[in-house]
Amino acid sequence: MTDPQVTGWLLTVFGLYAIAAALGEHLEPGQWRKMINELNESAALSFLAGLLILSIGTAISLAHPFDVDAGWRATLVNIVGYGMVLEGLSFLAFPRSISTLATKLMTAANPMWVVISALFGILFLVSGLPLAL
Protein backbone atom coordinates (compact mmCIF):
# COMPACT_ATOMS: atom_id res chain seq x y z
CA MET A 1 0.00 0.00 0.00
CA THR A 2 1.21 3.49 -0.87
CA ASP A 3 1.88 5.81 2.08
CA PRO A 4 -0.47 8.82 1.79
CA GLN A 5 2.19 11.10 3.26
CA VAL A 6 4.65 10.16 0.49
CA THR A 7 1.91 10.86 -2.05
CA GLY A 8 1.31 14.24 -0.43
CA TRP A 9 4.96 15.22 -0.41
CA LEU A 10 5.45 14.21 -4.04
CA LEU A 11 2.37 16.19 -5.13
CA THR A 12 3.58 19.17 -3.10
CA VAL A 13 7.00 19.06 -4.74
CA PHE A 14 5.41 18.70 -8.21
CA GLY A 15 3.25 21.72 -7.43
CA LEU A 16 6.15 23.85 -6.21
CA TYR A 17 8.17 22.88 -9.29
CA ALA A 18 5.37 23.81 -11.70
CA ILE A 19 4.67 27.12 -9.94
CA ALA A 20 8.38 28.02 -9.84
CA ALA A 21 8.74 27.19 -13.54
CA ALA A 22 5.69 29.31 -14.42
CA LEU A 23 6.93 32.19 -12.28
CA GLY A 24 10.40 31.99 -13.83
CA GLU A 25 9.02 32.14 -17.37
CA HIS A 26 6.60 34.92 -16.42
CA LEU A 27 9.39 37.05 -14.92
CA GLU A 28 11.91 36.25 -17.67
CA PRO A 29 9.85 35.63 -20.85
CA GLY A 30 11.65 33.52 -23.41
CA GLN A 31 13.66 31.40 -20.97
CA TRP A 32 11.77 28.21 -21.81
CA ARG A 33 12.31 28.78 -25.54
CA LYS A 34 16.01 29.44 -24.89
CA MET A 35 16.31 26.15 -22.96
CA ILE A 36 14.61 24.24 -25.77
CA ASN A 37 16.88 25.86 -28.35
CA GLU A 38 19.92 24.86 -26.30
CA LEU A 39 18.61 21.28 -26.12
CA ASN A 40 18.23 21.35 -29.91
CA GLU A 41 21.83 22.51 -30.34
CA SER A 42 23.55 20.15 -27.88
CA ALA A 43 23.40 16.38 -28.18
CA ALA A 44 25.19 16.07 -24.82
CA LEU A 45 22.72 18.36 -23.04
CA SER A 46 19.78 16.50 -24.59
CA PHE A 47 21.28 13.17 -23.46
CA LEU A 48 21.84 14.47 -19.92
CA ALA A 49 18.29 15.84 -19.77
CA GLY A 50 16.94 12.46 -20.85
CA LEU A 51 19.10 10.65 -18.30
CA LEU A 52 18.03 13.00 -15.49
CA ILE A 53 14.33 12.79 -16.34
CA LEU A 54 14.52 8.99 -16.65
CA SER A 55 16.34 8.72 -13.31
CA ILE A 56 13.91 10.95 -11.42
CA GLY A 57 10.89 9.22 -12.97
CA THR A 58 12.30 5.82 -12.06
CA ALA A 59 13.00 6.94 -8.48
CA ILE A 60 9.44 8.27 -8.13
CA SER A 61 7.99 5.07 -9.57
CA LEU A 62 10.05 2.89 -7.22
CA ALA A 63 9.32 5.00 -4.13
CA HIS A 64 5.63 5.21 -4.98
CA PRO A 65 4.46 1.86 -6.38
CA PHE A 66 1.21 1.73 -8.31
CA ASP A 67 -1.76 0.84 -6.10
CA VAL A 68 -5.25 0.84 -7.59
CA ASP A 69 -6.89 1.25 -4.18
CA ALA A 70 -4.76 4.23 -3.06
CA GLY A 71 -7.02 6.89 -4.59
CA TRP A 72 -6.83 9.51 -7.30
CA ARG A 73 -3.93 11.43 -5.73
CA ALA A 74 -1.71 8.35 -5.76
CA THR A 75 -2.75 7.64 -9.35
CA LEU A 76 -1.79 11.21 -10.29
CA VAL A 77 1.68 10.71 -8.79
CA ASN A 78 2.04 7.44 -10.70
CA ILE A 79 1.03 9.10 -13.97
CA VAL A 80 3.68 11.79 -13.45
CA GLY A 81 6.36 9.24 -12.47
CA TYR A 82 5.72 6.86 -15.35
CA GLY A 83 5.29 9.82 -17.71
CA MET A 84 8.75 11.01 -16.72
CA VAL A 85 10.18 7.55 -17.42
CA LEU A 86 8.65 7.64 -20.92
CA GLU A 87 9.81 11.22 -21.50
CA GLY A 88 13.36 10.37 -20.40
CA LEU A 89 13.48 7.31 -22.66
CA SER A 90 12.12 9.41 -25.53
CA PHE A 91 14.82 12.04 -25.01
CA LEU A 92 17.47 9.33 -25.10
CA ALA A 93 16.08 7.46 -28.12
CA PHE A 94 14.62 10.31 -30.20
CA PRO A 95 16.29 13.57 -29.08
CA ARG A 96 15.55 15.54 -32.27
CA SER A 97 11.91 14.48 -32.42
CA ILE A 98 11.26 15.40 -28.80
CA SER A 99 12.98 18.78 -29.01
CA THR A 100 11.18 19.54 -32.30
CA LEU A 101 7.86 18.71 -30.63
CA ALA A 102 8.76 20.94 -27.67
CA THR A 103 9.66 23.79 -30.07
CA LYS A 104 6.31 23.45 -31.83
CA LEU A 105 4.40 23.40 -28.53
CA MET A 106 6.22 26.51 -27.26
CA THR A 107 5.59 28.34 -30.53
CA ALA A 108 1.90 27.40 -30.49
CA ALA A 109 1.00 28.97 -27.15
CA ASN A 110 3.96 30.22 -25.14
CA PRO A 111 2.10 32.57 -22.74
CA MET A 112 -0.60 29.96 -22.28
CA TRP A 113 1.97 27.41 -21.03
CA VAL A 114 2.78 29.71 -18.13
CA VAL A 115 -0.89 29.71 -17.12
CA ILE A 116 -1.20 25.93 -17.62
CA SER A 117 1.93 25.30 -15.55
CA ALA A 118 0.71 27.58 -12.76
CA LEU A 119 -2.72 25.91 -12.72
CA PHE A 120 -1.22 22.43 -12.55
CA GLY A 121 1.11 23.65 -9.82
CA ILE A 122 -1.80 24.95 -7.77
CA LEU A 123 -3.75 21.71 -8.35
CA PHE A 124 -0.80 19.58 -7.22
CA LEU A 125 -0.09 21.82 -4.24
CA VAL A 126 -3.71 21.92 -3.03
CA SER A 127 -3.99 18.14 -3.54
CA GLY A 128 -0.73 17.29 -1.82
CA LEU A 129 -0.42 19.62 1.16
CA PRO A 130 -3.25 18.09 3.24
CA LEU A 131 -1.59 14.66 2.96
CA ALA A 132 1.94 15.93 3.55
CA LEU A 133 1.20 17.82 6.75
Q: What is the pLDDT of residues 78-115, one digit of tens each?
A: 999 999 999 999 999 998 888 888 888 777 667 888 99
Average pLDDT along the chain:
90
The pTM of this model reads 0.86
- As a whole number of angstroms, the distance between CA 133 and CA 121 comes to 18
pLDDT surpasses 90 at 54: yes
Answer yes or no: is pLDDT of 45 > 60.
Answer: yes
